[in-house]
Amino acid sequence: MNVLVGYATAHGSTREVGEHIAARLGEKGLRAEARPMREVDDADAYQAYVLGSAVHGQAWLEEAKDFLRSNSDLLRSRPVWVFSVGMPDALRGPWKRTAARKEDDVLAKDLAELVPFRGHRLLSGVIRPGHLPLTGRVFFRLMGCRYGDFRDWPAIEGWADRIAREYGPGPREYRPGHGSPAE
Ligand SMILES: Cc1cc2nc3c(=O)[nH]c(=O)nc-3n(C[C@H](O)[C@H](O)[C@H](O)COP(=O)(O)O)c2cc1C
């Protein structure tokens, strides 16, 4: 089975997450390859898709949403999992969990309008001061956020293992308000 792990990145952390997921799926016996979505012009060569994007402004990068739109018919007919790489773990304080849950929901609902998927996972990536403009850095500090690499590799591997286990025939769509099936 050929699995495309497609990613869209601004600063590279989502690429590394995608490569890690592909390697892990490979260890579980699937033939998976990680590629930037914007370079994929043979999407129908794959039987399943694990697609992820960096999050900017609580949304996927436009190039990633373009991939979903332009391959919509194909993606509706085959199993799809989606992941978003944001910064929930950069947050501190009592609202951290609520904010992460809210963002997860916003992203999942947004994506569900573009393509049915079996599961969505919001992961933490990498945030450095140089990634943000001055106003963004000020806001970031006011929110009490921390810079750093927050990727949780065991959690990422756990999610990939779950995909490898779940990978089977039959559509199971995400329905807003009913939770993500892969959670
Ligand atoms: C301009 C900008 C806007 C961002 N907006 C969000 C956001 O709304 N929500 C979030 O969780 N993370 C946000 N982030 C954090 C990134 O999603 C995170 O750093 C991620 O690891 C970036 O992935 P990349 O290295 O593949 O570009 C933002 C980062 C930048 C640079």
In a domain, 82, yes or no: yes
pLDDT reported for residue 112? 97
Domain assignment of residue 138, given as a range: 2-166
pLDDT reported for residue 168? 52
In a domain, 126, yes or no: yes
In a domain, 176, yes or no: no
* Residue 3: DSSP 8-state: E
pLDDT reported for residue 150? 96
pLDDT reported for residue 149? 98
pLDDT reported for residue 179? 44
In a domain, 141, yes or no: yes
pLDDT reported for residue 93? 78
The segments of the chain whose pLDDT lies below 70 read: 1, 168-183
Closest CA to 82 of 57, 58, 104, 101: 104
In a domain, 159, yes or no: yes
pLDDT reported for residue 55? 98
Contacts for 62 with CB less than 8 Å, ≥ 6 apart: none
Taking each helix axis from N to C end, the angle separating 13-27 and 153-166, rounded to the nearest 10 degrees, works out to 50
Q: Is the CB of 21 under 6 A from ligand 1?
A: no
In a domain, 51, yes or no: yes
In a domain, 121, yes or no: yes
Q: Is the CB of 9 under 6 A from ligand 1?
A: yes
Mutate to test the pocket of ligand 1, among 11, 19, 56 (most ligand atoms within 8 A of CB): 56
pTM of the model: 0.91
pLDDT digits (tens, 9 = 90+) for 115-147: 999 999 999 999 999 999 999 999 999 988 999
In a domain, 20, yes or no: yes
Q: What CATH number does the domain containing 82 carry?
A: 3.40.50.360
pLDDT reported for residue 171? 43
- CA-derived radius of gyration, the chain: 16
Domain count for the chain, please give it.
Answer: 1
Mutate to test the pocket of ligand 1, among 131, 146, 150 (most ligand atoms within 8 A of CB): 131
